[in-house]
Structures are given as structure tokens and as C-alpha cells.
Amino acid sequence: MAGTVGSVLNGISGPADLRRLSAEDLSLLATEIRDFLVRQVSRTGGHLGPNLGAVELTLALHRVFDSPAEPILFDTGHQSYVHKIVTGRRDRFDSLRQTGGLSGYPSRVESEHDWIENSHASTALSYADGLAKAFDVRGDRRPVVAVVGDGALTGGMCWEALNNIAASDRPIVIVVNDNGRSYSPTIGGLAEHLAGLRLRPGYERVLRNVKGTLGRTPVVGPPLYDALHGLKRGVKDMLAPQGMFEDLGLKYLGPVNGHDRVALEHAFSLARQFGGPVLVHCVTRKGYGYAPAENHVADQMHAVGVIDPETGEQLKRSPGRSWTRIFEDEIVRLGEERDDIVAVTAAMLDPVGFGSFGARFPRRTFDVGIAEQHALTSAAGMAAAGLHPVVALYATFLNRAFDQLLMDVALHKAGVTIVLDRSGITGEDGASHNGMWDLAMLGIVPGLHLAAPRDEPTLRRALREAVAIEDRPSVVRYPKTALGSDVPAVRVVGDVDVLGEPDESGVDILLVSVGAMAQDVLTAARGVNEAGYRVRVVDALWVTPISPALIELAADAEVVITVEDGIVVNGVGARLAQRLGEAGSSVPTRNFGVPVEFLDHGKVADVKARIGLTPQGIARRTVEFAAGIIGRSDVGSEGVTGEHPLTARADQQQE
């Protein structure tokens, strides 16, 4: 790999610079961009494969369309790195996905070239439809471009948008970046249609022959004409399923070699001149130009951590065990014990830990594509027929299927288990990927049972208990961070584990830990003990519904504090406080969690420190709250005023 920015790339500060380059310089620029991407992403981690495959496509778009006046929208947003490079953000790539640095997705804060901040798939076409409508209302006919790739067309929202776009005459250019993959190979009927185009190079030749035959046929009346026209259409549909798009009313161009810049520019220019909705089908290869990515069987290095840029080998591995791998192991065990358990995933078979289950039980594994809504309702149907579906999603993507969970699963009392990977704060992928909404959102679903395991034994136990529930939905959630040491209970009260007890009789503060926060809460409790308070730490595996044992334990304390990695409004703590009030308890409560705001991307530890969810932050806020309520003589005036030495130590550690 080269050690410095290439000679051509160094002269690119905006899209206008691309239009002045010769063909030779543009070819060199594509090579330099790939070199730059590998070197930069290998240091910070990020989405490598999709961007390596979109180099020529992005260069061609910016040479044909006048961004930012003519919006270029990327769906999914993780394929926008090349766009960022050529729109003036190259010098910030050292900070990619780091605290205070460059986002891994389009970001309106970063550049006027980013009209939207989409990082959930299948949204760009709706954005494009809205922008085009707004321009039209103002008498403006400027084109809007939506680059749809990595399986986004498997999402139903795309088809809702296409239905509207095709019915208009607005100049929307839909660029299908077809690499045949999302995280893993894209599946479903649409994928098969696009594969049909890619894999039938003789299509144009056959069509020319059919056209010639029809042209030489004598006109003998409408019946023969209709039959011949039907034959033409039938052959066309058999060989090239672009008829699917044309039936919607979309002009279709392609397939185009997505790594042939000249061919791409020609197709984009034709689409731009057409002045109405056009779909340009571009065939690319994920990871193109970087051998380790091209040869990476699982996902063409879709997303990587810190790697060796020469070999592609991962250099820094997450410490400790992985929550996902523990789930993967346990779900296979359950699948061997019960033949009614089936796996459902939304285009993320390996990332959510269903790879081994899929290999062991292929007929019981269903990848529905980027279609979380369909996944939930399909699972409800399977449950109605006697199966027990386990739907595994990243927690942030459950937001997209809440109505289906509420009305199609819960209302029908369907025995569906939902496993939420990457719950809580996920960090580098930013606001859209933090799985911080689930605890609050799921609390309003009637009958739902929600487990938040704190370690490996409780994760395995939660899964087994969840799939045993057949008359209502169950959810098991766990974070992205490494799975730490097991946290054993010192005793059990009802269905609540007591993780720590004061050395003396009586309890001043009941610290209620939720899920994987247990280790941090125990560390915080030691600091609070040092401040002179008697602390009991408890953990309920099933946090919804609220355990009656928690209500009993709260009666023994003077202050109750809950700690969770979800938003505080309607979270576990809020529901516990409500239940305490309903039970007639007047014990003061305080809920520590995530504020109701979109959290900027950064390291998980940095994000937690900023919102006070570190052990030091939890301890400091606990002492500050308790000091104003508990009038114990041995706490002292410093504790009452909130200026206890513990506060100072915590502040110093955060700094």
C-alpha cells in the first residue's frame, strides 16, 4: 500500500474537480481511492467491502450530476465513503466513526452534499420521492438520485416508494447498486430477478432476433399481432425480468457494468436527460479491487475492525467472550432438543448468530431479507401453525417492526421469541444504531415478557425460559460490548438475584441493575459504600413485567435507584417507580439511564461517560441523590451537600 495520498486524489476537494480529469487520471483516481479506503478503514474499522465496490459508480454520479444542487442519496448509507472522499472530507478519515470524528453514514452536519442521514436500509426512495415532490411544487425540475444497494430493495418501504415514483413524471433516477449481497447474499424473489439479468448475457442478442422475426412477419390481422407481441413480451420477461420495473411505469436502463466508468456515465447521462423516473441497474462486485475482500467468502469484508491492510487479517479482537457467540451455541442446542424451533433473520444470518443453526437446520432457517416487518408477522403465522420462531435482530431494527410486534404477534398471543443483539449503546455506528429504545418501547406491549441477562449463565437460562413461553411474545436482549466475567448471586429473593449486600444490618440504598449493567453497578456500589451508605445490589432477569419481589425488596430501603442502558422515559426504572406508587410505597426513586436524545457516534465508553453511565458516574449520582434524602449522622455534612470526596474522585476519573 502507498504511504501517502495519491497524486490525483490529493487534488480533489469537491465534485467539480472530477469533471476536469482525463480518462487516464480518472482510472488512476479509482485506484488511489481504493488504496486510501483500505489504509484508512483498516485503522478505524468500518464498512469496507461495500465502498470498494462503489468507487467507479460514485465517481460517475458526481461527474454527471451537480451535487449538492442535484441531491445524491445513498441507501444504505454505509456505501457513502467514496462520496465523502470526493466531497471534501478526505482529510477527516483518520477520525472515521471515532468520538467527535467523521460519521460512518451520511451526515447533514458534515456536508451540504448529504441531504439525509439514512443508515437504516430501504428509505432513500421515499426521501427522493419527497424531495422531487417539493421541488415540483416550487416549479423546479432538478433531478434527484437515489443509490439503492446492499439488498435494500428487499425492504417493503422501497416498493411503497416505487409505487408512487412510477406514477409520476418527476425526474428521479434510481441507481440499483446490485452486488448480490446485503450482509450476506441477498435472498428472495427480487434477488433472483436481478440475478437473472446478471447471468443471462445473451439477452440482448435473443431480443434482437425476436425483434427481427417480428419485423419480417406479414401483417395478417390483430390476432396474429397480439400473439406475436405476447411472444415478444414472454421471451423478454423470461430472459430479463426488468419487465417487473417497466410494469410499474419505470424506464429501465441496464444492466451496466458497475466498474466501467464510461458505461456508467453514459447510462447516467441518458437517465438525466429523460426527465422522468428511470431505473439504472448497475452490477458491481463487493470488495472490488482488494483481494482479501474479494476472496472473503462470508461477506466480502462488509464491515471490519482494525485489520492488516496488506492481508485483511483482523488485528484487534474484542476482549472476553461474545454475547452473540453464546447465543449461537445455545440456540443450536435448543434446536437439537426441539424440532419446532425455527430461526428467522432479516438479511443478517451470521451477524446475529444464526450461522451455525442455519448450517445445522437449513430447512428451519428463514432469511427474509431486509424486511423486519415481514419477519415479525411471518413469525406470528408460523407460531399459529405450531412452530416456535426465534427472530434475531439488532435492537435498533426492532423499531421498524413495532406495529407488527404489537398487533400481529402480541394481540394474537403468539409464542414468538425475539432476540435483540446490540441492545443499549453501540457507539461507533451512531444515533441510528444505538439499541436504546427497546426497554421503553416493549414496556407498553400487553403480555410481553422481557429478559435482560447479565452474563453467560443468565443468557442461556433466559433463552430456555423464553422458548418455553408459548402463549405470548418473549424478548431476550443483550449488548454489543464483550461479555465479561460471570456475576453470581449471593442469594435469591423470589425471582430476583441479590448480587451484593451491606456488611451491616439495614439497607440505605437499593441499586437495581438491569442486564449487562451489573458489573458496572457492583463497582459503583463499592464506591457508594465507601461514602458511608449501606447498599444492596439486585438484578431481575425478567424485567418485564416488574417482579413482585422487587417491590418487596424496595420496602427495605430508604432510596431505590435503577440503572439501565435504555432511555429513562418509560424504562424499567420508570415502570418500577409506577408499581411502587401503586403499591402504596413512598420510597424515593431515581432512574439512571440514557437521556431522550440522539447520541453522537463514538467509543461506547466515551458515550457512557458523557451520559453518566460509568461506574464512577453511577456512584457519584447515587451519593448526590441519597445525600439529600438520608439524614444519617455518619454520612457527614460533605455527603449532604453533595461534595463528598467520592464525587471529586469520580469527576477526576471521567476527565
Q: Report phi then psi at 551, rounded to 5.
A: -65, -40
Is-catalytic flag, 216? no
Is-catalytic flag, 372? yes
From 236, 286, 477, 534, active-site residue = 286
Q: What is the C-alpha separation between 67 and 46, in angstroms, rounded?
A: 25
From 84, 400, 477, 480, active-site residue = 400
Is-catalytic flag, 233? no
**C-alpha pair distances (Å), 476 with each of 174, 421, 443:** 38, 9, 13
Residue 232, classified by CB atoms within 10 Å of its CB into exposed (0-12), middle (13-18) or buried (19+), is middle
Q: What is the 3-state secondary structure (H, E, C) of 588-613?
A: CEEEEEECCCCCCCCCHHHHHHHHCC
CA 280 vs. chain centroid, Å, equals 26
Say what the alpha-carbon torsion angle 25, 292, 95, 26 is, to the nearest 10 degrees: 10
Say what the alpha-carbon torsion angle 131, 137, 143, 145 is, to the nearest 10 degrees: 20
**C-alpha pair distances (Å), 517 with each of 52, 468, 481, 572, 618:** 38, 26, 11, 13, 11
Report CA torsion sign: 285, 291, 295, 301.
negative
Q: What is the C-alpha separation between 247 and 25, in angstroms, rounded?
A: 41
CA 529 vs. chain centroid, Å, equals 39
Annotate 246-268 with DSSP letters as a single string: HHHT-EEEEEEETT-HHHHHHHH
Q: Please give the span between the terminal C-alpha atoms of the chain, in angstroms, as a whole number.
A: 38
Q: What is the C-alpha separation between 242 and 252, in angstroms, rounded?
A: 7
From 372, 428, 558, 624, active-site residue = 372
52: how many CB neighbours lie within 10 A of its CB?
27
Annotate 39-66 with DSSP letters as a single string: HHHHHH-B--HHHHTTHHHHHHHHHHS-
Give the residue numbers annotated as catalytic, written as ranges: 286, 372, 400
